[in-house]
Structures are given as C-alpha cells and as structure tokens.
Structure 1
C-alpha cells in the first residue's frame, strides 16, 4: 500500500513543475524525504513561496523561478532529468470561463512546451496532471476512461487537449507519457483563500472563524474527494509504469463519492461547530456528480489508494488548525 516501497536509482532526478503549488509542493516534500534529487520550477502565479521555503536548505533541492510558457526555460528545467511530474497549470472551471485565452496559453502551450522539452532531453517518464473535468456531461457513474461526454469549460478542454498531445508523443516520439485525471484533491497546503478556492479548505477556514460558508446549489452534488497522499502515490507509481501503459490517462481518486452537504456536516461535527450554511446559485460549468472507476489505474499503474475520505479529512483538519 502507498509508495514507501517504491524504489528508484539512487541518483534519480525529478522535475516538479508548479512546485510551489498545493500538489507540487507535496510531491517535492515526499521525493526529498525518500532521498532523491528534485528540481522545482514555478512562476508563483498561483503557487506560494512559503510552500517551498522549507526545502531550500535541502542540498537535494534545486529551484528555478520560471514560466512554462517560455520554451527555453522548459529546456533548462528538463536538462539531466529522469522523471517529469508536470503539475503546473491554472485550475478552476469558473475562472477558465472568464479567461479562456490565458488557459490556452498556460495549460495547453505550457504543457506542450514541457512535453517537447522532455522529449528533447530524453526524459524517461513524463507524468502530468489531467482532470476529472474531461468527463464533461457524461452522466454515467462511475466515470470510466474512454467514456467521456461533451466538455463544459475551457479548463476541461485544456486537459483533454493535453491528453491528446500525450497520446501523440507516445505514438510519434516514443515518449512515455501518463495522464492522471485527478478527482477533487484535498489536503495540507491547499489554499483556502480567494474566489476560486477549493471547497474543503474554504469550508474549514470559514468554520474555524465561525463564519457561514456558501454552498453552490443544493449541496446534493457529489464528488470523489481524494486525499493528497493518494495523488503522490499515483505520480510515483506512474514513474515506474510500463512502456505499454504510456500514452494513456488514468482516473486518480479513492473510488467513492461524498455528497457536499454530508461533507459540510462532517466538517461541522469534527470541528465542533453548529453553523448553518448559505445556499447560493449553482456554478456555471460544474459537473453535478463525480465518482471514479479506478480499476484501470490499479491494473496498469499498481495504484492502490489507502487514504479514504474520513482518514484524509481528519489529517487535513489537523494541518489547517496548526497553520491557519
């Protein structure tokens, strides 16, 4: 279970893009703890310097401040690297609806820059963040790779495009690419601030401050909330996956779903709060229900998540209590 038994060559070098972000900084922390060398790149457009400051004193960590839209920077970042864990992107469905051109630049062009730089530098494995948003309006549950609907946002389109490029890079250039379709990841260092903040950290912060959170819609929407440790496991196992599994995308989740209103009540219960939420309008582009079939990732990546929602939410709450 987990990733503690995954072994790489002692001198293996990892590149984490978006290293100062929520998922990126957790990947950096784990890989350094396992004893390997990590190069991080971030331009701090959404990532935070305080997420990685603690790593600067580690001699196995090297940091480059740079933008994945700059191809020369991507080439420098990939030099001498064995494994690329590409997390740099702009998230948020609602924000992508407001800023489609920026999402095209960062999420599509930036990812293509990284893929091409990885190819030219003979990187062994290119693992990148995709998203459950690629399922669009496909109504069937659980969501299964190969059965996707109409896309509902520019963000979803950027992730679907990444997957198509990934397939081509495997077929044409023989680069081992692996797309990880994350389902509602949560955990330590996830930013609770701002209009596009994810729901769990936002709820926790407001409840800790005795404020009433807003739930978009009726709260009966469901999500396959996925604790960060499961995502770290998926990234590391993708780095060890077979050549035959490359060029594909995989659902990365726990494989169960929680209704948002139930999540809210569970947070109130764990935090000892009795605060009624405010129900607001549904958000444009949102998927109503999300639940992953993770059998493909289990079979081809050896993915076997052991952090369920209950265990993850308790760990997340403890972190926020100490750090907010």
Structure 2
C-alpha cells in the first residue's frame, strides 16, 4: 500500500530534524515525503538542502499560503497519484520505529476505516488498575482494566454533572468530550476526532475534502473540523499500536489572548458542525461548561507563576464567548 507523508512546518528547524531522523528509522518508509514550509527564515530550507533524506520533496510557500490548513492543502495538491493513504504529522513529533507499519496495517485490515490516528506515548497517563483498590469515579476514569486520573477541569465537571457521557475521542451532543485518549492495549478504538499531530486518511478523503481555511495561522481544532467531515466516508479509529512522542515546541504558537479566543469560537464551530441542531439541554450544557473552563483558567492568575498568560487567555475566552451573541462562526468550508 503506497502512502505519502505531509509535514507542515513553521520556524521549527531543530524539531523537524528530530522528526526526520525518526522517519529515517521506520520499518515501513513513506513513498513520498512532502515538507511544506511556511517559515519566514531559511533555517528549515537549509536543513533540507543539506540533508539526504529519501523521497523528500521540499516546498517553501509564500506568506499568502502560510498557515496550517493552507499548507496542508498545498501538500495534498502535490501528493502522488498512486498514493493510497496520506499521513500527516506535526513537526514536533518523534516516531517509534514501527509507527507507519502499524498505521498501514489498520488500513489494510479494515476496509471500512478511512482515518487512523496514533498515540503520543509520552503524554499517555493510563495505568493498570490495581486489584482490590477502589477508585473515586469523580477523580478517575476507568476503561478495560485501566484507570486515568482526571484533570482538575474534569473532576469539577464530574461533580457538577457536566462530564462527557461518551468514551474518549467521541463527541457528546454538548461537545467538550474526553481528551485523554486510550490505554496502550494495542487495540483500535472508533472515535469522532483524530488529532493533527498524528493522523492519516485514505487518499479519496483528502481528494474530496479540503482543509478549511476558516482556521487561519495556528488553526486550533482544524483537525477536529476535518475529522468530522471525513466521517461521511467511513470510520475513524485511534490505533494504540501506532506510537510516537509529541513535544509541543513553543515556537510558532499564537499569544494566549488569541489562543483563548480560538478555544471558544473554534470550539463552538466544531460543536455545531457535528450537531447542527442540538437540544436545548445540550446548548445549556455547552455554555455552562464553557463558563466553568473560563473560571478555572481565571483562577490560574492566582495559582500559577505565568499570571499574564493565564489572564490574557481568560480574557480571550471571555471575549470569544460574548462575541457569539453577535456573530457566530460559519460551519462552511
């Protein structure tokens, strides 16, 4: 099964070098690797001019083409015709040696699957459930003999009756789903959302659906937007055997105010794309959860050392929420 890899990058020469070293060590190597660089400097370009990575095609885009979704569309347009699968990776990831082998295995064995996501093992918080130990279901989430400690926001949502009623990666009618992924069981789990750091689709999907340019620049939740649209073609799954590490390089990220605003407004768009006509109860829950999350982020002004970042993100979330009263995001491509 021939497959292409698209890596969109912006001012992360060292990070993408680490990724490419891990790609070089794969047990199954991509037939085509497309590097789509939106950097204003030439560090990444110099890296690929001097390196000797196999099957690489490097493209430097114009400022007008820069931004994650725009760069992904540039990459898709250059995918080889014979490719059957198109993989996407964030430039700050590092792969386990059999990552691509496991991804392609799922596509080969499951004809109804059109999208596959991998698991960041360095972020996986699941632990084997200890025999005889009692776990507070407000503070721990259990799944197939494993437990994951809930974050503060989920603990509070559990006590308030606002927790997701769906498994991880599956959106409830009021959105705000669980994001802890799944334990490393080696199984695949059907989900609604794949994460942009590690996702792959059959070529027929990326040929039919462009990445939405509604998501400018950093493009928070653009992966969720594409995932929801992709489900019209078949199932999406998370493959826990397809493993990598995600290091969240800070360079190229927006300021916290813009980030906070995107969390609210882009989150609303994803919710209404999946559920265009939610019930009144679901609407109330979505807004209540949004207020809870704003309150918790606001408390970080008092509880963390990064007070300015916490304050500006809180303001961004607030402005984004009040802005929905006057102008709601479009759910169109």
Q: Kindly indicate whether structure 1 or structure 2 has the higher relative contact order, using CA contacts under 8 Å at least 6 residues apart.
A: 2
Q: TM-score, normalised by structure 2?
A: 0.31
Question: Who wins on radius of gyration, i.e. which is larger?
Answer: 2
